[in-house]
Amino acid sequence: TVSDWVNSQAVLADHLNIQQWAAVIGGSLGGMQAMQWAISFPEKQRHVLIIAAAPKLSAQNIAFNEVARTAIKSDPDFHEGHYADYNAIPRQGLGLARMLGHITYLSDAAMGEKFGRELRYDAIQYGYDVDFQIESYLRYQSETFVEHFDANTYLLMTKALDYFDPAQEFGHDLAKTLASIQAKCLVVSFTSDWRFSPERSHEIVNALLSTGKEVTYAEIEAHQGHDAFLMPIPRYHEIFNSYMQRIAAECGAVA
Amino acid sequence: TVSDWVNSQAVLADHLNIQQWAAVIGGSLGGMQAMQWAISFPEKQRHVLIIAAAPKLSAQNIAFNEVARTAIKSDPDFHEGHYADYNAIPRQGLGLARMLGHITYLSDAAMGEKFGRELRYDAIQYGYDVDFQIESYLRYQSETFVEHFDANTYLLMTKALDYFDPAQEFGHDLAKTLASIQAKCLVVSFTSDWRFSPERSHEIVNALLSTGKEVTYAEIEAHQGHDAFLMPIPRYHEIFNSYMQRIAAECGAVA
């Protein structure tokens, strides 16, 4: 789970004799880890940057993950997870999971802009093979992905996402959950991100504000969907950069 | 394709000696057929009711369909479509397609309301099986679906959806495409429908208005997503009902 990961990161930090981070930063599942750091180890960081994340997945998010997992598990090459023993990779299932993931990371507008209804060949083929560029793109993405990503890891990561719900231990009260946080926070969201929409970031911001935390919130106008947090969007990078300079200045002043 | 279907329906109508329909009505893919009727046979209906439809699929729509088709085709029981000869059904692939379809027919809000993060059992299982109610619901939906729906038909229908684009023959000018329509039109959309969003209905309405057609437009507040067009939503049924009464009155007056 996310808190297992954060605990093991904390063990490593202790081993390296790091007393306190200037900032813990993460996007998406990484943003959840950053949030978990601030909850589990309130004194271990000065700042937390939570980018394109949510305090927990919605039923729709879980549903998409479940489709991806079902695709992987029902691949005949999955062998109950022991595919390595059979020298196999569940390519079809993992590829399907990636195709689906890719759609949810992008926005309808971004896909429309990039591909529209452009055809792969000159005319419609009237078969069940590729007609539109978007289909060809998704197939290519899934084929390259299966060479570089492990199916069991995909299952594990989606379950970690599904399980993340730090407020559960606090009677589902997010404000109470975040009340112990000592770090100052920057929360960033992207307008066309429908996987972790701005509304989900508002939940985090509102909970932090309601317990009097110092929080900065930036909602970035972007058409790239969830993927925007990986993109060189000028306003996003400016805000990130200026916040990092503030952290550097604060740490410099203390040191 | 949609226009093949409409042509064959028109042949049947001729055979039955039906000169003119009082109204051609359809929702979703049916709404596309209703639109095609009005385009292909302008004099064959007095009214057209286009519900929860779009003038063509977006790249995102096509992408979801492509994932569904890939799931079906990569099922080992698909046998290149000749599964009946092998006494088989591509259950896994068809079930996956249905799970995915189901997610896109609902809204995030509707799924959240119905299932939220409710657990199937008392506690998280920490396995790759069902944890959340939404997962169990999707599995059940997909299992019952594969008993009643044919995989080749699913492939065919999604391709018909992808190919629908009547404006293509008119230089991608929707107003020009709809210019020959003689029917009066009712267009209905639903606020939380993200598969065929209200914006897509606006395209139809605007094109009709720009060529001076008589068009009534209703945007129904509904949280059920695309599925709303099948639901007993009071305002939706009132509007539908009063429009049908208007048609009845007009037809009665003429007869």
Give the residue from B219, B214, B216, B255 showing the smallest Cα distance to B236. Answer: B219
**A96 shares contact with chain B (CB less than 8 Å):** yes
How much is the average pLDDT of A58-64? 94
**Averaged pLDDT for residues A172-179:** 96
Contact B128 A70 (CB under 8 A): no
Q: Is the pLDDT of residue B120 over 90?
A: no
Q: Please list the alpha-helical segments (H only) found in B41-131.
A: 59-73, 91-105, 108-114
Predicted pLDDT at B100: 94
Largest distance between two CA atoms of chain A: 68
**Domain residue ranges of chain B, discontinuous segments joined by +:** 2-56+171-251, 59-160
Quick one: pLDDT at residue B98? 94
Mean pLDDT of all residues in A160-180:
95
CB B54 within 8 A of CB B27: no
Predicted pLDDT at B253: 58
Closest residue to B76, CB basis, from A67, A76, A96 = A76
Burial label, B74 (beta-carbon count in 10 A; 0-12, 13-18, 19+): buried
Q: Where are the beta strands (DSSP E) in chain A?
A: 21-27, 45-51, 184-190, 215-220
> How many angstroms separate the CA of residue A234 from the nearest CA in chain B?
26
Cβ–Cβ below 8 Å for A128 and B100: no
Contact A200, A190 (CB under 8 A): no
Catalytic member of A107, A142, A226, A227: A226
Average the pLDDT over A106-122 and give the result.
Answer: 89
Q: What pLDDT, on the 0 to 100 scale, is given for residue B254?
A: 53
Cβ <8 Å between A111 and B63: yes
Give chain A positions within 8 Å (CB) of B103: 60, 63-64, 67
Which residues in chain A touch residue B106, judged by CB atoms under 8 angstroms apart? 60
Q: What is the pLDDT of residues B127-165, one digit of tens each?
A: 888 899 999 999 999 999 999 999 999 999 999 999 999
pLDDT band at A253, cuts 50/70/90?
Answer: low
How sure is the predictor about A254, in pLDDT bands with cuts at 50, 70 and 90? low
What residues form DSSP beta bridges with B121? none
Residue A193 a catalytic site member: yes
Interchain CB contact of B111 with A (< 8 Å): yes
With 50 as the cut, is the pLDDT of residue B255 above it?
A: no
CA distance B77 to chain A (A): 11
Share of chain A above pLDDT 90, in %: 88
ipTM of the complex: 0.85
Options B3, B193, B201, B227, the catalytic residue: B193
Beta carbons of A73 and B100 less than 8 Å apart:
no
- Mark whether B193 is an active-site residue: yes
| pLDDT level of residue B252 (50, 70, 90 thresholds) | confident
> Is B28 marked active-site?
yes
What does the pLDDT average to over A114-130?
87
Instruction: Please write the tens of the pLDDT for every residue from A20-49.
Output: 999 999 999 999 999 999 999 999 999 999
**CATH classification of B59-160 is 1.25.40.10, yes or no?**
no
Tokens of residue A115, six digits: 């591909």
Question: Whole-number mean pLDDT of chain B?
Answer: 93
Q: Is A172 left (phi over 0), alpha (psi -120 to 50) or beta?
A: left
Amino acid of residue B92: Q
Distance CA A138, CA B189 (A): 29
B45-94, pLDDT tens digit by residue? 999 999 999 999 999 999 999 999 999 999 999 999 999 999 999 999 99
| Residue of chain B with shortest Cα separation from A124 | B163
E-only strand ranges, chain B? 21-27, 45-51, 184-190, 215-220
Residue from the list B96, B112, B117 with its beta carbon closest to the beta carbon of A70? B96
**Residues B117, A155: C-beta atoms closer than 8 Å:** no
Nearest by CB to residue A63, choosing from B57, B73, B111, is B111
Residue B210 has pLDDT above 60, yes or no: yes
Chosen CATH of B2-56+171-251 out of 3.40.50.1820, 3.40.50.920, 3.30.70.380, 3.10.100.10: 3.40.50.1820
B213 has pLDDT over 90: yes
pLDDT at A255 exceeding the cut of 60: no
Mean pLDDT of A85-95: 94
Q: Euclidean distance between the first and final Cα of chain B, in Å?
A: 35
Q: What is the pLDDT of chain A when averaged over all its residues?
A: 93
